[in-house]
Amino acid sequence: MLLKRFGVSLEENLLKALDNFVKKNQFPNRSQAIRFLIKKNLVEEKWEENEDVAGAIVIVYDHHKREVQNKSTDIQHNYHNIIISVQHVHLDHHNCLESILVKGKAAELKALSEKLISIKGIHHGKLVMTTKD
Ligand code: NI
């Protein structure tokens, strides 16, 4: 894609904050950091407008607590229309990690992820949403 240049005027403290952000995230330059921030904002807008997005829900739980797995499976079946695939990894003797790839309306992805993450016994859970634009 053709790159266009434009000038940006910023207060000194904002420029300093931008440079810290560049350094902290190891962006090669300010342009890359600004690009990242704009895209992040556009994706978040799509979530708010409930547009079509894709994402992954990652959960970690102890499979010895059988009710966690049962509940998770029940919930996932209720949302089968937005689930593309599920990958299950046996992390160690106790812990399982599941990566659930999802595609659909942002609100549905959020609802599914909130239901899974709030199951009693889930150690950790996170939803990552993105868009192809
Ligand atoms: Ni497992």
Global pTM value: 0.76
Residue 2: per-residue pLDDT: 87
Q: Separation of 69 CA from ligand 1 center, angstroms?
A: 10
Q: Give pLDDT < 70 ranges for the chain.
A: 133
DSSP 44-94: HHHHHTT-EEEEEEEEEEETTSHHHHHHHHHHHHHTTTTEEEEEEEE-SSS
Contact 104, 79 (CB under 8 A): no
The 8-class DSSP code of residue 29 comes to: S
Q: Separation of 114 CA from ligand 1 center, angstroms?
A: 21
Residue 13: per-residue pLDDT: 94
Instruction: Name the residue ranges covered by the structural domains of the chain.
Output: 12-48, 52-131
Contact 131, 46 (CB under 8 A): yes
Select 52-131's CATH number: 3.40.50.2000, 3.40.640.10, 2.60.40.790, 3.30.70.1150. Answer: 3.30.70.1150
